[in-house]
Amino acid sequence: MSDVNIIVVDDEAGLRGMIEDYLSMQGFAVSAAENGAALDRLLVSTSPDIILMDVNMPGEDGLSIVKRLRNAGERMGIIMLTANADENSKVSGLSNGADDYLSKPFEVRELLARVRSVLRRMPAKVEKPSRTRQVLNLGPYELDMDGRRVFGPEGIEIEVSSMDFDLLETFARHPRQILSRDRLCELAFGRPLSQADRSLDIRIARLRKKIETDPSMPPVLKTVRGEGYVFEPAN
Do domains 5-121 and 161-231 share one topology? The answer is: no
Residues of the chain with pLDDT > 70, as a percent, come to 89
Please report the pLDDT score of residue 83 as a whole number. 76
Q: What is the DSSP letter of 38?
A: H
Q: So where are the chain's domains?
A: 5-121, 161-231
List CB contacts of 148: < 8 A, sequence separation 6 or more.
Answer: 121, 122, 123, 162, 165
Please report the pLDDT score of residue 92 as a whole number. 73
CATH topology of domain 161-231: Arc Repressor Mutant, subunit A (1.10.10)
Least reliable range by pLDDT among 17-21, 35-39, 113-117, 206-210: 206-210
Could you read off the pLDDT of 67-120 as tens digits, one per residue? 899 888 788 999 999 875 566 767 777 787 889 888 888 899 999 999 998 988
Please report the pLDDT score of residue 85 as a whole number. 59
Residue range 126-152: average pLDDT? 75
Could you read off the pLDDT of 169-212 as tens digits, one per residue? 999 999 999 999 888 988 888 877 766 667 788 888 888 888 88
| Bridge-based pairing state of the strands 221-224 and 29-33 | unpaired
| Bridge-based pairing state of the strands 149-151 and 157-158 | antiparallel
Residue range 39-50: average pLDDT? 89
Has this prediction a pTM greater than 0.85? Answer: no
CA distance 35 to 158: 30
Orientation angle between helical segments 62-71 and 36-45, nearest 10 degrees: 30
| CATH of region 5-121 | 3.40.50.2300
Least reliable range by pLDDT among 49-63, 94-108, 118-132, 157-171: 118-132
Residue range 36-62: average pLDDT? 90
Amino acid sitting at position 39 = L
The verdict on whether omega for the bond into residue 105 sits within 30 degrees of 0, i.e. cis, is: yes
CA distance 221 to 82: 29
